[in-house]
Amino acid sequence: MKASGLASTSIEVGFRAATAVAVPLLVLWAVGRLDLAAYATFGAFTALYGRNEPYRLRLRSVSAAGVVLVASIALGVLIAVLGEPLPLLAAALVLVVGGGTLFVTALQLLPSQPLFFVFALLVCANIPTTAADAWPRIGLAAIVAVFSWLLTMSGWLVRRLAGGRRWTLLKELNRHPRADATVLRDPRVWLTVAQNVVGVLIAGGIALAFGLGHAYWAVVSLVAVIPPARAAHSISRSLHRIVGTVAGVVVAAALLFWSPPALVVILAIVVCQFFAEILVGRHYGSALVFITPMALAVSHLASPAPLAALVGDRVLETVLGAGIGIVLVLLARGIERARGLAA
């Protein structure tokens, strides 16, 4: 029996990603430690990788992504312990966004941008942390990453139990990424690295100069708009991402304006994670309608802030980061045409 339309819309992947974030958040809620929600959520992002890959390839993709996620979290925690010194944070950001771009391109990972590595670094660096709290927070992220790794690889056992039967909710494992050793010699890849590095420094610098709260959102929005390495530098794609992010802010405002109980916020995060993962491989702009409120809800759980400030900062910094991203996309298109680089 052929896989149904349900399989083609990534139901299996969405359920796995939602479970990866739901279980640790519910445990934290039960023990009264939702202040640690950010570390658990970023560790759970391990489950976002390896989609549609046979398990021998998924083993490499998910393991590598999980290690880099935990390393990004640990680096952010270390910077927080040191008082978030701006020069150190800027250097770490350049390392993570530049190295992350090379990393995801070399392993042909999906998601194909360093967005989640950057997000984890900046949020964890922004949360005040003492030296005594550092290792427990890193350890929590690592434990959740291992749980998410096991959950992502569990489909192997499910398929073994299914035998020759085809269950309608199981996806075809038809993605075969190969490690690419040519990335360091490809000028298109370095062009994307340059876009990200220059963009995050400009976006973050402007947000800080104008005193915008949560300056890292401008950086994250910039990284979301820059196309993956070797992809076409499309303005329409960038505009889709801007519209998706702004629409996501509206959804977040509707969710949080009435100060819902923590359990309702957790449920909303899980639902958003489910639909974001269903859509992210099909239309990233649409996925941002769910990714954005999920990010805002996690921030709200970890460190509640007045809704007007939360939403206002997010809109302003989205426009700032996305606007800089579009300028860099236009510049990259000009460079590609001038140098005859194929998209």
Residue 164: band (very low, low, confident or very high) from pLDDT cuts 50, 70, 90 = low
Please compute the mean of the pLDDT values over residues 148-158 and round it to a whole number. 85
Please compute the mean of the pLDDT values over residues 270-274 and round it to a whole number. 92
pLDDT attached to residue 137: 97
pLDDT attached to residue 279: 83
Written as one letter, the residue type at 31 is V
pLDDT attached to residue 169: 52
Q: Does the pLDDT of residue 281 top 80, yes or no?
A: no
Q: Does the pLDDT of residue 335 top 90, yes or no?
A: no
Q: Does the pLDDT of residue 130 top 90, yes or no?
A: yes
pLDDT attached to residue 322: 85
pLDDT attached to residue 72: 98
Q: Does the pLDDT of residue 233 top 70, yes or no?
A: no
Q: What is the tens place of the pLDDT at every residue in 190-215?
A: 999 999 999 999 999 999 998 877 78
pLDDT attached to residue 110: 84
Dist. CA 307–CA 254, nearest whole Å: 10
Q: Are 149 and 50 in contact (CB under 8 A)?
A: no
Higher pLDDT, 1 or 186: 186
What's the token pair of residue 123?
């949020």
pLDDT attached to residue 52: 81
Dist. CA 87–CA 71, nearest whole Å: 19
Residue 7: band (very low, low, confident or very high) from pLDDT cuts 50, 70, 90 = very low
Residue 9: band (very low, low, confident or very high) from pLDDT cuts 50, 70, 90 = very low
pTM for the whole structure: 0.90
Higher pLDDT, 162 or 147: 147
Dist. CA 3–CA 8, nearest whole Å: 7
pLDDT attached to residue 328: 92
pLDDT attached to residue 117: 96
Dist. CA 203–CA 225, nearest whole Å: 12
CB-CB neighbours of 62 under 10 Å: 26
Radius of gyration of the chain (CA): 19
Look over the chain and give the mean of its residue pLDDT values, rounded to a whole number: 86
Residue 22: band (very low, low, confident or very high) from pLDDT cuts 50, 70, 90 = very high
Dist. CA 162–CA 305, nearest whole Å: 47
Please compute the mean of the pLDDT values over residues 150-172 and round it to a whole number. 69
Dist. CA 282–CA 15, nearest whole Å: 16
In degrees and rounded to multiples of 5, residue 216 shows phi and psi of -65, -20
Percent of the chain with pLDDT over 90: 47
Percent of the chain with pLDDT over 70: 88
pLDDT attached to residue 19: 94
Dist. CA 157–CA 176, nearest whole Å: 20
pLDDT attached to residue 4: 44
For 4, half-sphere exposure in the C-beta direction (CA atoms, 13 angstrom radius) is 6
